[in-house]
């Protein structure tokens, strides 16, 4: 006999159902990020306010507790600025004044108001290619009602100019005592009617170091002597034999010879020499001559380099090209090197 309590209808079985909703994920994440940053700003300001109040209690004693021996009293609050996230934000700073009416500093505020993080953020942004006008857009937005400063185009520009000038001065006055520089290159970069002379040193490991900078109207001997005198004053050994690579300017060669005498070996810059030679040749010969010059310069055998230059000079002389006179200096340098190196070390190491 069947049970009367059981139904003969089919049972409904629950199944897992997946439902998709279209949510503005990017907007939600942006709102979460902004809200979290705002929470951090609010919490940070609250902690900073409590710490500054503790500093004031240490100076003035607890509020509302008379103390005849106190040396300072409370002076209310004033608006001040602290550094946060590449900008300055406004905070309410408690004031403490000495009995002689002198303002007393709060250690916590001095720490929060220091400009080192702001300066570091400015240098990093400008070095990454951010313009002073767009600096503000690289910072996280503050919550509504917060006041910010030091982010305008003019403020960022003034800060960067001051910081870069200070760091450049420190960098160009550093000591050169610890550097072994067998090669120094000097070249001038033209900016309209001004010339900036740059001295680049190559140490015994092949690493490059910018040694000094001088600005002048031309590459005259006086400016070059001033640059060389500064290098010697900062520790460059004036007695050590050294190869000086220049662009061929007579003022550069004259100043180097006057300052360093016969110990200075002067060489025309290979790139400048290559350009000067190719300028006198027809276009169809420039590629082959450029390749021949590079083969001679890149060889480690000085004797082979001299033979290659001789062969190239004779080939060009046969064609009647005026640039043949430019090979005299290159061959003369090879001859000087052959006289100065030891017989068993005619292989010249190429400086990278």
Q: Cα(108)–Cα(339) distance, rounded to whole angstroms?
A: 69
At 138, phi and psi to the nearest 5? -85, -5
Q: What is the pLDDT of residues 170-195, one digit of tens each?
A: 888 889 888 888 899 888 888 877 88
- Spatial CB neighbours of 247, under 8 Å, sequence gap ≥ 6: 187, 188, 268, 269, 272
Q: Characterise 187 by phi-psi region: left (phi > 0), alpha (psi -120 to 50), beta (else).
A: beta
Q: Contact at 8 Å (CB) between 98 and 114?
A: no
Other CB atoms within 10 A of residue 339 CB: 6
Q: How far apart are CA 35 and CA 41, in angstroms?
A: 10
Give Cβ neighbours of residue 150 (< 8 Å, ≥ 6 apart). 81, 87, 88, 118, 156, 159
Distances in Å between the Cα of 298 and the Cα atoms of 203, 339, 352 are 19, 20, 11
Annotated domain spans of the chain:
27-63+70-168, 183-268, 270-340
pTM here? 0.55
Distance CA 135, CA 339 (A): 59
C-alpha to C-alpha distance for 134 and 139, rounded to whole angstroms? 10
The two structure tokens encoding residue 348: 């010249």
Span 72-93, pLDDT tens digits: 888 899 999 998 888 899 999 9
- Spatial separation of the C-alpha atoms in residues 266 and 244, rounded to whole Å: 5
Which CATH architecture best describes the domain 183-268? 2-Layer Sandwich (3.30)
Highest-scoring range by mean pLDDT, 15-29, 211-225, 335-349? 211-225
pLDDT tens sequence across 300-312: 777 787 787 778 7
What pLDDT, in 10s, does the model give residues 93-143? 999 999 887 889 999 999 888 888 888 888 888 888 888 888 988 888 888
Q: Taking residues 286-295, report their average pLDDT.
A: 81
Spatial CB neighbours of 324, under 8 Å, sequence gap ≥ 6: 313, 316, 317
């Amino acid at each position: 006999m069947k049970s009367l309590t059981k139904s003969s209808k089919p049972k409904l079985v629950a199944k897992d159902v997946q439902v998709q909703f279209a949510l503005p994920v990017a907007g939600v994440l942006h709102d979460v990020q902004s809200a979290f940053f705002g929470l951090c700003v609010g919490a940070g300001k609250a902690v900073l306010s409590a710490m500054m109040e503790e500093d004031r209690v240490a100076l003035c004693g607890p509020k509302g507790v008379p103390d005849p021996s106190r040396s300072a009293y409370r002076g209310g609050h004033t608006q001040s600025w602290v550094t946060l996230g590449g900008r300055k934000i406004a905070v309410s700073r408690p004031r403490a004044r000495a009995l002689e009416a002198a303002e007393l500093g709060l250690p916590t505020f001095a720490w929060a108001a220091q400009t080192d993080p702001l300066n570091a953020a400015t240098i990093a942004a400008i070095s990454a290619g951010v313009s002073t006008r767009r600096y503000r857009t690289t910072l996280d937005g503050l919550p509504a009602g917060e006041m910010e400063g030091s982010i305008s185009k003019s403020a960022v520009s003034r800060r960067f100019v001051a910081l870069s000038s200070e760091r450049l001065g420190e960098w160009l006055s550093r000591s050169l005592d610890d550097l072994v520089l067998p090669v120094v290159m000097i070249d001038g970069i033209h900016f309209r009617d001004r010339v900036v002379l740059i001295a680049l040193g190559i140490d015994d490991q092949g690493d490059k170091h910018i040694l000094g900078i001088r600005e002048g109207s031309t590459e005259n001997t006086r400016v070059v002597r001033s640059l060389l005198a500064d290098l010697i004053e900062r520790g460059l050994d004036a007695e050590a034999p050294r190869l000086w690579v220049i662009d061929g300017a007579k003022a550069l060669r004259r100043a180097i010879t006057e300052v360093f005498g016969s110990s200075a070996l002067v060489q025309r810059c290979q790139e400048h020499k290559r350009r000067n030679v190719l300028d006198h040749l027809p276009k169809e010969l420039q590629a082959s001559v450029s390749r021949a010059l590079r083969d001679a310069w890149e060889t480690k055998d000085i004797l082979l380099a001299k033979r290659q230059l001789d062969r190239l000079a004779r080939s060009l002389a046969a064609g009647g090209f005026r640039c043949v006179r430019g090979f005299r200096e290159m061959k003369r340098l090879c001859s000087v090197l052959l006289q100065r190196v030891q017989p068993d070390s005619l292989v010249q190491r190429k400086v990278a």
